[in-house]
Amino acid sequence: MKKFAYITLLFVPLFFSSYASASEVNIYSYRQPFLIEPLTTAFTNKTGIKVNTVYLRKGMIERMKAEGKRSPADVVLTVDISRLSALVEAELTQQVNSDQLSRNVPSKYRDPAGHWFGLTIRARIIYASNERVKNGEIVKYEELADPKWKGRICIRSGLNAYNLALTSAIIHHHGEDYAIEWLKGLKKNLARKPQGNDRAQVKAIWAGECDLSIGNTYYMGKMLKDPEQTDWAKSVNIVFPTFENGGTHVNVSGIGMARFSPNKDNALKLMEFLSSGEAQEIYATANFEYPIAPGTQVDDLVKSWGDFDADAVNLMTIAKLRKRALELTEIVDFDG
């Protein structure tokens, strides 16, 4: 079985070798095909360039390393700053210089060295019971560690990438000593051991197990569109907390050019198109996220959740603190 898996991996680049042509471009994506199909279709209609998408649930770095210079990947598309920075650290991306990308993507949502560019953002917010939590009762991330919330908070694993990014932001704003005490205080306030995904925490609020949870904004949209989860969504209000000396923590969906892209010209055209206001609005609407290009409009449903001021820190700064955030989370045995 091991030999078969190895042989299969060896021949993957050969199978895609025909995609190195003047009329095609290849995406390796952690996002499901149906979420990006409207974008790739619009790009093909506009340019005549065919887009081939390889959807990967996990293991993008391992696959690209194994493929090496024979990799057919032109563009990588993923979510979470940690995944984007991991691709950069693994030397699987290349620097891109583009005035159009720089105009469309604010500086805090792109790599200063040009290895990745954000397309849309989502906020890491608080879901609060609309029956048991008063408006304005919690407005800061720091307050999640306040003893008044003891036994009232639900959260997924502290080792999850989204929560590690939030902890990284806490370190950035307050330092490591504060962050470890914040993690301890938050752990003491949990109603149960960390488990499930973001939607599972909102379900727990609906079921009366807790009063607050931490989650990404787009899960509200997903729950409202699912008849089985609509009641969960209607049981909570969205709170856009801020840091005491900053704004609301956000994460990003982004793109980069693969290091060994066989279709560099087409890859750049695709990246520039994906960064355009037109494409960002399509992408953001499909994913219940926020476009970031100047002059873009937020989907009406997403807009109905309220406004917020995103934290000003460059996300690459947050990514560099991820390792320490992981270590602190393990030190306090957050999931234990």
239 belongs to a structural domain: yes
Q: Is the pLDDT of residue 173 over 80?
A: yes
Q: Compute CA 292 distance to the chain's CA centroid, rounded to the nearest angstrom.
A: 14
Same domain membership, residue 117 and residue 15 = yes
Same domain membership, residue 241 and residue 180 = yes
pLDDT tens across 180-204, in order? 999 999 999 999 999 999 999 999 9
- The Cβ-side half-sphere exposure at 128, using a 13 Å CA radius, reads 21
d(CA 146, CA 69): 52
CATH of the domain at 175: 3.40.190.10
Same domain membership, residue 136 and residue 234 = yes
Tell which phi-psi region holds residue 241, choosing left (phi > 0), alpha (psi between -120 and 50) or beta.
beta
Same domain membership, residue 214 and residue 325 = yes
Same domain membership, residue 327 and residue 185 = yes
Q: Is the pLDDT of residue 47 over 60?
A: yes
203 belongs to a structural domain: yes
308 belongs to a structural domain: no
Counting the structural domains of the chain, the total is: 2
Cβ contact 47:273 at 8 Å: yes
Q: For 313-325, what is the mean pLDDT?
A: 95
131 belongs to a structural domain: yes
Same domain membership, residue 108 and residue 135 = no
- Average confidence score pLDDT of the chain: 93
* pTM over cut 0.95: no
Same domain membership, residue 326 and residue 193 = yes
* Domain containing residue 46: 2-121+250-303
Same domain membership, residue 191 and residue 320 = yes
The length of the chain is 336
Same domain membership, residue 318 and residue 222 = yes
User: For residue 315, which phi and psi values (nearest 5 degrees)?
Assistant: -65, -20
336 belongs to a structural domain: no
* Burial readout 215-241 (b: 16 or more C-beta within 10 A, e: otherwise): bbbbbbbebeeeeebeebbebbbbbbb
Tokens of 202: 């909102």
98 belongs to a structural domain: yes
Same domain membership, residue 190 and residue 323 = yes
pLDDT tens across 122-162, in order? 999 999 999 999 999 999 999 999 999 999 999 999 999 99
Same domain membership, residue 151 and residue 240 = yes
Kindly indicate the confidence band of residue 57, based on its pLDDT and cuts at 50, 70 and 90.
Answer: confident
Same domain membership, residue 324 and residue 202 = yes
